[in-house]
């Protein structure tokens, strides 16, 4: 596993929801001078997607080299074909990740972009309207989707730029020896000593040298937590190690609070519910968010460690898919993100241990069966790494 490469001197700006993210992204595309590199899991053919697509096409028309990677499953087969045709006509280079599962089950779940090698965006927002359910475009949400991204300027952009360009090369006709060299090439400076300035780092998950990088970053931060942990994820189904780390932090007096999305997938909810009793008995506080679709994958620990990115706390994100998060060691940024999480918690519904323990027996058995099935499937997919 590659060491986490921290860099100092970065300007990081938190963007909440699409009404902050998409105007900033489109403005950056319109100001681009030489190149744009974009990756997204979903590129929807809706008004928001049309605006982003139009900005990319405008940039290509000015002579900017535009490269776009979309995930075939997330975007959809028909939609991917339409994008490919329209982008080709406009001079935008487009590649679809893993069509028809030719490279196994792994999906490209990352959402990140670099403009002119000096400005980057990364987070959890797909290119899709904030008011549309990302699993069913026919469903309108009651309120804008709850999600985050980061705008980054500074030395860290170089690591994101290399990651995007490496992905593009791997999806092309790259000789085997070049692929191996790309995987072995260092991604930047190693983790600095404790007294060196360390502001932010890119952490990715892939199936080669970064198989458990994101989980290890969480485990390290939880293991050093002193006061409180705020963790937000729409899909909660971590392996045993991450659950144990949450319980351990709570047992030593750290206030651990989970804000979880519910209501989108009943099977996912059942798996998450199977973990609730043990977590709550260990002192973990759980709040369910039902106001709208919660899609943010963020955390703040002790107001000096924060992460924003694409990785859910579930088996697919932590052990299967390609993911990208930013870890920020900055008190001001952490406080800003913390305030958003506290607002989300105020809008959520706390889960009470005594009430949850009194669920009907059939429901409890269903949750247990969902967990056993999920664990069995994940262990097969991950060749036993899901733990």
Give the residue numbers marked as catalytic. Answer: 109, 111, 116, 295, 297, 302
What is the chain's length? 387
Give 344's strand partners.
Answer: none
Q: How many helices (H) and strands (E) does the chain have?
A: 13, 18
| Burial label, 9 (beta-carbon count in 10 A; 0-12, 13-18, 19+) | exposed
Contact 287/349 with Cβ under 8 angstroms?
yes
Reported as type and span, the H/E element at residue 144 is none
CA distances to 53, 124, 170, 374 from 21, in Å: 15, 11, 28, 34
Which phi and psi (to 5°) does residue 300 adopt?
-135, 130
Query: How far, rounded to the nearest angstrom, does the alpha carbon of residue 171 sit from its chain's CA centroid?
Result: 21
Element (DSSP H or E) covering residue 93? strand 93-97
Quote the CA–CA distance of 44 and 333 in Å, as a whole number. Answer: 30
CA 147 to chain centroid: 10
C-alpha distance from residue 359 to each of 243, 271, 364, 365 (Å): 22, 15, 7, 10
Q: Where are the alpha helices (DSSP H) in 232-360?
A: 240-251, 266-281, 315-319, 331-347, 353-357
Contact status, residue 200 vs residue 329, Cβ threshold 8 Å: yes
């Amino acid at each position: 596993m590659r060491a986490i490469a921290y860099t100092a001197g970065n300007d990081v700006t938190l963007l909440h929801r699409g009404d902050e993210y998409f105007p900033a992204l489109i403005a950056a595309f319109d100001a681009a001078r030489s190149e744009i590199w974009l990756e997204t899991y979903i590129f929807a053919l809706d008004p928001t997607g049309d605006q982003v697509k139009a900005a990319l096409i405008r940039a290509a028309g000015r002579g900017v080299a535009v490269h776009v990677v979309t995930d075939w499953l997330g975007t959809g087969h028909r939609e991917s074909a339409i994008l490919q045709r329209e982008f080709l006509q406009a001079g935008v280079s487009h590649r679809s990740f893993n069509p028809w599962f030719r490279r196994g089950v792994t999906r490209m779940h990352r959402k990140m972009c670099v403009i002119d090698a000096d400005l980057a965006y990364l987070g959890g927002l797909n290119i899709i309207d904030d008011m549309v359910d990302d699993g069913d475009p026919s469903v309108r949400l009651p309120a804008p989707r709850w999600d985050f991204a980061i705008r980054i300027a500074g030395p860290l952009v170089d690591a994101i730029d290399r990651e995007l360009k490496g992905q593009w090369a791997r999806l092309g006709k790259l000789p085997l020896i070049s692929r191996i060299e790309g995987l072995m090439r260092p991604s930047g400076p190693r983790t600095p000593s404790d007294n060196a300035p360390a502001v932010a780092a890119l952490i990715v998950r892939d199936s080669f040298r970064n198989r458990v990088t994101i989980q290890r970053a969480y485990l390290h931060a939880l293991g050093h937590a002193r006061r409180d942990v705020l963790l937000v994820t729409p899909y909660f189904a971590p392996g045993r190690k991450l659950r144990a780390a949450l319980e351990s932090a709570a047992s030593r007096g750290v206030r651990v609070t989970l804000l979880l999305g519910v209501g989108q997938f009943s099977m996912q909810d059942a798996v998450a519910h199977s973990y609730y009793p043990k977590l709550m008995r260990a002192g973990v506080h759980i709040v369910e968010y039902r106001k709208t679709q919660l899609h943010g994958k963020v955390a703040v620990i002790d107001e000096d460690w924060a992460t924003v990115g694409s990785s859910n706390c579930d088996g697919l994100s932590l052990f299967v898919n390609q993911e990208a998060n930013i870890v920020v060691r900055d008190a001001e940024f952490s406080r800003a993100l913390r305030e958003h999480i506290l607002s989300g918690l105020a809008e959520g519904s706390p889960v009470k241990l005594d009430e949850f323990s009194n669920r009907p027996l059939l429901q409890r058995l269903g949750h247990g069966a969902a967990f056993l099935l999920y664990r069995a499937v994940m262990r097969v997919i991950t060749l036993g790494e899901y733990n």
